[in-house]
């Protein structure tokens, strides 16, 4: 990634209390200079009491968030556990349909809630190539007058590796992830939100292809596109190569919250066009896998949900990436 915010606590305190002049507007690969200036004006109007330096940090975060968006062309795909040959080498997964049609297919997922394969037709949308970073999450907290989580631990030398700005943003709740994406949306003027479950799976499967793992090869090459088997800590969001759509970190680091409520039987009632999930529920869905999960959990069709939507602590197991719910050009 081209940008990293190294936000130590003392630096954040300096930003909040400083009244220095703002520098030049950031350049953008996808936004016009006029659009960037408009976003800067929106930020100044919303945060008149923040220092110009901190407003500049917010502006950089918003502009970079939009620049990180990858357009995903819409289309139809079969969502759910499409099955795989029962015996395969995860380090050398064949290209489906793997030559001759096998006599028997086995379920990829151990759960039965994704067995009902159903057609889904998606409109075009944008999805962030990266998970939101811890550094950007910090800016969100500071700009909105919220205390940084784990402040008492960040000053400890033996724990600083847990708070590197390039790590996936660790969440305490689904609401934090949703609020962050909508914050980017309100400041940028785009329809930014969490992706739906269908959008996440479609992108992880490189527009709905029958792919077993959402890596650059479709296989797991430990240490090159997937963490080694004894790795425990989360790592930078851009560490491994992206999938074929240019999207990074879809497995093996932190999971992604998505927009949908969870329902065990939703796949059987899912509408064909742009499903949004159940209208209500008790749990929100996550997609992807963590460093401690078994490799098969990295399959892009596996559904996950937490026991509780609000955890006791911010956890690196639960992160997120934002989407623009529109296919219109930026």
Half-sphere exposure of 134 (CA within 13 A, CB side): 28
Q: Supply the pLDDT for residue 101.
A: 67
Whether 182 maps to a domain, the answer reads no
> What's the DSSP call for residue 160?
G
Whether 62 maps to a domain, the answer reads no
Q: How many helices (H) and strands (E) does the chain have?
A: 8, 13
Q: How many domains does the chain have?
A: 1
Q: How many CB atoms sit inside 10 A of residue 222's CB? A: 15
Which whole-number Å values give the CA distances from 160 to 8, 101, 157, 202, in the listed order?
10, 51, 5, 36
204-208: which pairs have CB atoms within 8 A and are 24 or more residues apart? 204/243, 204/247, 204/250, 204/251, 204/287, 204/288, 204/300, 205/77, 205/300, 205/301, 206/243, 206/244, 206/245, 207/72, 207/73, 207/75, 207/77, 207/245, 208/75, 208/76, 208/77, 208/78, 208/79
Bridge partners, residue 121, by sequence: 76, 273
| Structural domain containing residue 318 | 71-132+168-177+191-324
Query: How far apart, in whole angstroms, are the C-alpha atoms of residue 61 and residue 185?
Result: 12
Smallest Cα–Cα separation from 296: which of 209, 226, 197, 192?
226
Written as six digits, the tokens of 34 are 């006029």
Would you mind telling me the total number of residues written for the chain in this entry?
330
Half-sphere exposure of 227 (CA within 13 A, CB side): 24
Whether 296 maps to a domain, the answer reads yes
Whether 329 maps to a domain, the answer reads no
- Specify whether the CB–CB gap between 123 and 86 falls below 8 A: no
Q: Supply the pLDDT for residue 97.
A: 67
Using only the alpha carbons of the chain, give its radius of gyration. Answer: 20
Whether 59 maps to a domain, the answer reads no
- Per-residue pLDDT tens, the chain, 330 aa: give them: 433 333 333 333 333 333 333 568 999 999 999 999 999 999 999 999 999 999 999 999 999 999 999 999 999 999 999 999 888 899 999 866 676 667 788 999 888 888 899 999 999 999 999 999 999 999 999 999 999 999 999 999 999 999 999 999 999 999 999 999 999 999 999 999 999 999 999 999 999 999 999 999 999 999 999 999 888 899 999 999 999 999 999 999 999 999 999 999 999 999 999 999 999 999 999 999 999 888 888 999 999 887 778 888 999 999 999 999 999 999
Whether 139 maps to a domain, the answer reads no
Q: Supply the pLDDT for residue 2.
A: 38
Q: Supply the pLDDT for residue 23.
A: 67
Domain of residue 210, CATH code: 3.90.1580.10
Q: How many CB atoms sit inside 10 A of residue 220's CB? A: 23
Segment holding 256, helix H or strand E: strand 255-261
Q: What are the residue ranges of helices labelled H in the chain?
A: 9-17, 33-46, 52-67, 134-143, 151-154, 174-188, 197-204, 266-269
- Specify whether the CB–CB gap between 302 and 108 falls below 8 A: yes
Whether 11 maps to a domain, the answer reads no
Whether 241 maps to a domain, the answer reads yes
> What's the DSSP call for residue 171?
E
Instruction: Give me the DSSP letters along 78-108.
Output: EES---EESS--TTSPPPTT-SSPPS-EE-S
Residues 6 or more apart from 64 whose CB is under 8 A from it? 2, 3, 26, 136
Residue keyed to tokens 């939507």: 309
């Amino acid at each position: 990634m081209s940008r990293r915010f190294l936000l130590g606590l003392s630096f954040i305190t300096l930003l909040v209390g400083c009244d220095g002049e703002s520098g030049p507007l950031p350049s953008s690969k996808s936004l016009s200079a006029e659009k960037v200036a408009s976003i800067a004006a929106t930020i100044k109007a919303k945060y008149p009491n923040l220092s110009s330096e901190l407003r500049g940090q917010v502006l950089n975060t918003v502009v970079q968030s939009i620049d990180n968006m990858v357009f995903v062309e819409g289309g139809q795909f079969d969502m759910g556990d499409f099955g795989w040959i029962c015996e395969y080498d995860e380090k050398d997964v064949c290209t489906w349909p793997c030559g001759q049609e096998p006599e028997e297919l086995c379920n990829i997922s151990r759960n039965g809630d994704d067995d009902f394969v159903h057609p889904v037709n998606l409109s075009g949308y944008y999805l962030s190539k990266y998970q939101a970073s811890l550094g950007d999450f910090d800016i969100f907290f500071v700009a909105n007058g919220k205390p940084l989580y784990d402040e008492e631990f960040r000053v400890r030398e033996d724990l600083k590796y847990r708070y590197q700005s390039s790590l996936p943003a660790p969440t305490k709740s689904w609401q934090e992830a949703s609020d962050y994406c909508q914050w980017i949306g309100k400041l940028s003027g785009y329809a930014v939100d969490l992706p739906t479950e269908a959008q996440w799976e479609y992108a992880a499967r490189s527009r709905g292809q029958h792919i077993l793992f959402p890596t650059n090869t479709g296989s797991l090459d430990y240490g090159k596109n997937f963490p080694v088997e004894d790795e425990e800590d989360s790592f930078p969001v851009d560490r491994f190569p992206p999938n074929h759509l240019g999207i990074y970190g879809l497995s093996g680091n932190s999971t992604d919250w998505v927009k949908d409520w969870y329902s065990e039987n939703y796949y059987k009632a899912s509408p064909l066009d742009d499903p949004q999930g159940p209208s209500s529920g008790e749990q929100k869905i996550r997609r992807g896998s963590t460093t401690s999960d078994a490799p098969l959990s990295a399959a892009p069709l596996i559904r996950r949900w937490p026991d509780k939507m609000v955890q006791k602590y911010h956890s690196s197991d639960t992160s997120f990436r934002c989407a623009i719910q529109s296919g219109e050009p930026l």
